[in-house]
Amino acid sequence: MKREDFNYTISILLIFSIIITGSLGYIQSELELRKFYPHRYFAYTTLCLAALHLYFNCGKVWQYFRKKLKRK
């Protein structure tokens, strides 16, 4: 598996994880559940996937900001 394929896979998983976390958070607030563990675990998963996504795209983000700073 290429690095780019791995990056796209993480991006897709991150999108699904954000959707599921938001849905579970809504369910938690509507049902007034204090300790709703699925929401908490999906939130942790989302944070880990976001960190991996930033790790794989750090070079692109750095290049973007370098171009913006040089133009000014």
Decide if 47 contacts 21 (C-beta within 8 A).
no
Question: Given pLDDT bands bounded at 50, 70 and 90, which one contains residue 72?
Answer: low
Decide if 56 contacts 10 (C-beta within 8 A).
yes
| Model confidence, pTM | 0.75
The model's pLDDT over 17-66, given as tens digits with 9 standing for 90+, comes to 999 999 999 999 899 888 889 899 999 999 999 999 998 888 888 888 88
The whole-number pLDDT of residue 43 equals: 93
- Is the pLDDT at 4 greater than 90? The verdict is no
